[in-house]
């Protein structure tokens, strides 16, 4: 028994005639008749009563027809689902995001997928790098976007490094530093008179700051609040005199709206951040995941272009 034989039975039941059914399925009448006979032989019961020019389904044939309709419908839906998946229009993508990538990618990615690929399910997961890498290896997640320095190269990981993004200091509109300096760069010692908030400052960033501004620039001396929730940090900066240190692209929308402003520091720190799109090496990339990866790469590139990184 095969799907083609069931399609032949459906055509015969629909037309009531071997001649019309053969035209419908593009077969000769003898070939269609042989197909129905082979199906009857395999099932061990007659499906069609052939009475002169009339062809009527037997009671068993009517039961087979009902099931054949369901099978045909499921087959059609299966083919449609496969076509949608192949075209990236369906499926589910489970994406893990680090703290800084989450602040930059989450909202734009959700909006993009809902507008342009509404049939694709998207699950976003947070957590520390080690937990997320473990989930990726357990195949609980399909991909990760993490800070590049948090990912150690391993044979089982495929790491796409995203464009470099500039980091810097940001404060609210109307901050005393903006008013007192009147557009001129601030000194680091002036900046740290106010609370500074950030994610956990890496050893690389700490070293650069000490090299630029001296031993007093060690994060232990000036970092007031650290959190992996960048959204909460930025909201605190909007409503207090705290200063945010982090990826400037994460604050771009609020800078564009005038709620936040970048503080130029003299001499410039020259800080930057780099993210990576991480998948399992050798695992076939689903079309829907490709859409997510391409968007993340494009968004990082746009952020790098805007910040001049």
* Residues 97 and 71 placed together within one structural domain of the fold: no
Residue 233's domain comprises 165-273
Give, for 80, the enclosing helix (H) or strand (E).
helix 59-86
Alpha-carbon distance 71 to 75, whole Å? 6
Same domain (yes/no): 79, 102: no
Q: Both 174 and 143 in a single domain?
A: no
Domain endpoint, select from 86, 113, 142: 86
- Examine the domain organization and report whether 243 and 194 are in the same domain: yes
3-state helix, strand, coil in the chain (%, to 5): 50, 20, 25
**Same domain assignment for residues 135 and 176:** no
Rounded Cα distance, 185 and 246, in Å: 18
298 shares a domain with 153: yes
- Give the CATH number of the domain where residue 140 resides: 3.40.190.10
* Entry pTM: 0.66
- If one counts the domains in the chain, the total is 3
pLDDT tens string, the chain, 309 residues long: the values are 888 998 998 998 888 888 888 999 899 989 989 999 999 999 999 999 877 677 889 999 999 999 998 898 888 778 766 776 666 667 889 999 988 898 889 999 999 999 999 989 999 999 889 999 999 999 999 999 999 988 999 999 999 999 999 999 999 999 999 988 777 899 999 999 999 999 888 888 899 999 999 988 999 899 999 888 888 999 999 999 999 999 998 898 899 999 999 999 999 988 998 999 999 998 878 888 999 999 999 999 988 876 555
Task: Check whether residue 287 and residue 263 sit in a common domain.
Answer: no
Shared-domain flag, residues 122 and 74: no
């Amino acid at each position: 028994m095969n799907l083609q034989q069931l399609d032949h039975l459906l055509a015969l039941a629909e037309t009531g005639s071997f001649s019309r059914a053969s035209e419908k399925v593009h077969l000769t009448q003898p070939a269609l008749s042989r197909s129905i006979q082979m199906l009857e032989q395999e099932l061990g019961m007659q499906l069609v009563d052939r009475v002169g020019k009339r062809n009527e389904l037997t009671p068993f044939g009517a039961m087979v027809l009902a099931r054949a309709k369901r099978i045909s419908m499921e087959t059609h839906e299966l083919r449609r689902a496969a076509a949608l998946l192949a075209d990236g229009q369906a499926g589910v993508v489970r994406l893990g995001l680090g703290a800084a990538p989450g602040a930059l990618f989450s909202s734009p990615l959700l909006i993009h997928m809902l507008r342009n690929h509404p049939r694709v399910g998207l699950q976003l997961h947070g957590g520390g790098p080690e937990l997320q890498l473990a989930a990726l290896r357990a195949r609980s997640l399909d991909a990760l976007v993490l800070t590049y320095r948090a990912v150690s190269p391993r044979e089982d990981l495929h790491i796409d490094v995203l464009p470099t993004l500039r980091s810097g200091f940001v404060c609210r509109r109307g901050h005393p530093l903006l008013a007192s300096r009147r557009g001129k760069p601030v000194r680091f010692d002036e900046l740290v008179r106010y609370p500074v908030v950030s994610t956990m400052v890496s050893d690389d960033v700490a070293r650069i700051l000490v090299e630029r501004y001296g031993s007093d620039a060690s994060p232990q001396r000036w970092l007031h609040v650290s959190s992996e929730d960048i959204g909460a940090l930025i909201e605190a900066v909007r409503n207090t005199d705290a200063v945010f240190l982090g990826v400037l692209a994460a604050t771009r929308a609020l800078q564009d709206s005038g709620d936040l402003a970048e503080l130029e520091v003299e001499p410039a720190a020259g800080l930057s951040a780099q993210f990576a799109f991480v998948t399992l090496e050798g695992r076939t990339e689903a079309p829907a995941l490709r859409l997510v990866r391409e968007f993340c790469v494009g968004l990082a590139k746009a952020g790098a272009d805007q910040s001049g990184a």
